[in-house]
Structures are given as C-alpha cells and as structure tokens.
A and B are shown apart, each in its own frame.
Chain A
Amino acid sequence: MKTTTHPEIRRYLAAVDRAASALPAGRRKELLADLSEHVDVALAERPGELDQILAELGDPQDIAATAVREDAEYDDPDQRRGNPRTVLALLAVGSAMGLLTAAPHSDVLNFPILVVTVAGLVALAMSAWWSTARKSIFVAWFILPNLLLRVIDQAFGLGHPVHVAESCISVVLRAGILVWLWRHRVTPDGPGRIAFRLPRWARILLWSLLALFLTIEVFMWISAFAVTDGLSSVKEGTLNP
C-alpha cells in the first residue's frame, strides 16, 4: 500500500496501533485500514497537504479511545450472554437424554445429563432475558416434580406400569415448563448482556476439557455396547447349546 511507505503516515498509524492495544486484533486492523484508506483518498484529493490531513484526523489517543468505547457499546444480540436459544437447547437436550435412561446400558448417560443440565441452568442464571422471579419459578417446576416422583418411586418401590406413567408425567411437565420459559423471555433493553467474560486462557481450557470429556464419554458408550453385546451372545450360547 502507498501510505505505508510514507514515514510520517507510518508513524501516525503506529501511534494509533499502540494506543488501541486494548482493542481486539481484528478491530484494530480494521481501524488502521480505515485510517490509511482515508489518508490515501484525502492525499489524492489534496496532494501535498499531508500534515493538514493528519491534523484533521486528530490525536491517535482520541481515536483509539473512541474505538475502544464503540467496541464496548456494540451489542450483538446473538452474542448476549445467556442467549435464550442456548439455554433452551441445553435444558431440552438434558431432558431428552433423561428419557433415554429408561433404555438398557443407560448408566453412562447420567453424567452427561448432569453436565448438560447444569450448563443449561448456569446459562439461565446468567441470562439477561428473564427476571429472577421467572428463573426461580422455572427451576422449581423443572426440578421438583421429577425429584418428587423419584422419591415416591424409591419409597414405595412401584412396578413397571407406574414407572411408565411417571415418565409420561415428567415429560409433559418438562415440555410444558420449557415452553413457558421460551414464551416468557424478554429481549433485554440496550446492552442487555451481563458483562461476564472469562479470560481467553480459561475459555480455551474449559472448551478443551469439555471436548476431552465428550470424547471419553462417546468412547465409553461405544465400548459399553461392545462389552454387553459380547456378554449377551455368550449367554445365548450357554442357553441354547
């Protein structure tokens, strides 16, 4: 580029670059590109007035400070913490996985269900889309009926048909309360997000732990199937010689 060859412009842009170090790298590059483009065009229109052009552009510190402020002000609705779609998806997936526990070899699912559900509840707690009262109502309806049914089950040791009925009731309740939660979301005003962001290293660590965990889970699940299939074929063999 032409501007980068002129030492005075280069010095100016470097000053902006230094002052804007708080800005994410992509944003900073974009700002520098905008400014160098401005100088290019302005110089083509008013050749020889470089000093004047740079003076009009203003103090690098001012520009950098404005850029940092604008970047903080920009509020991408999809980037808001506790996006309702994420919250609902996590909780719905957790509940759907809970249904599968009726199937054989389902013990491996207990931990993923716990993780997904807890993640959903944490996302809900941090979300700016629901009032605290609504969150409490939701959590109560989400957890208590299931807990109650489980306690009754444990206490009376009820048989299979009751078990099925219980599952049906809890599915209907879960679905109902999830629909309620979705309907009662309210778009937060302005920058509605909760200013909470883990540092970069912590995010990387968390995501890699999650990826590792999922890999292990899937692996265990597959191997559990393999082992029990092996066992059942052995049994069949002994039963029907």
Chain B
Amino acid sequence: MKVSELVEKLGLKVYCGNNGLENEISNGYTSDLLSDVMGHADAGCAWITLQTHKNVMAIASLKDLSAVILVKGFEPETDMAAQSDEEGIPVLGTSEEAFTISGKLFNLLINCK
C-alpha cells in the first residue's frame, strides 16, 4: 500500500516529506525506543511513535522505512521536518494513540496481503 493511500484511508495529516507519498508500506512497527526500531524494524515499515526529533529521521533513513506516524497530535520539530523533506520519508500525524492507530494499520495491511 502506498503512503498516499494510507493517508486517505486513515485520515492522517501530512506534515512533511510529500515527495515520499508514493513510498510503499509493507508493514508497521510501533515503538518509542530508538534502538528497538534500529534493531528490529524491517525496511518498508510505517513507524508509529511519539518521538518528534531529528534522530527519528536518521533512523528511518538508515532502516529504509517508508513513513513515520506521530500519535496523539504530536507534531514534528523543525529539523525533523527538514530531514523528512530531504530524505523523502513522510511524517504523518493522527490524534489517536499508538494502540488504536497500530490496530487500524494492522487491519489495513492484513487485508491487502
């Protein structure tokens, strides 16, 4: 599923990284611990987190993740947004909490497999 389809289906905000809206999402990973994501997330994941700083984008880029979804209305810091644009990895947003949005993403991805 493309990031743009996910945005539409889950009613997500697109904060930045619009040049990556055609990225393909194959899976999801929910965690606020950076080394956990570094060690265990697969390429192509949408990363669900409440972390809003630049290091999130460094990890997303190193791990070839497709998008970052910020929960509970959190917004990316300025330097996170800049790196998102640079890397072409969109930062999306939802007012929902991690449990709820993870469940919705899971259901969407299960249904397209």
Are A and B associated in one complex? no
A-to-B contact residues, CB < 8 Å: none
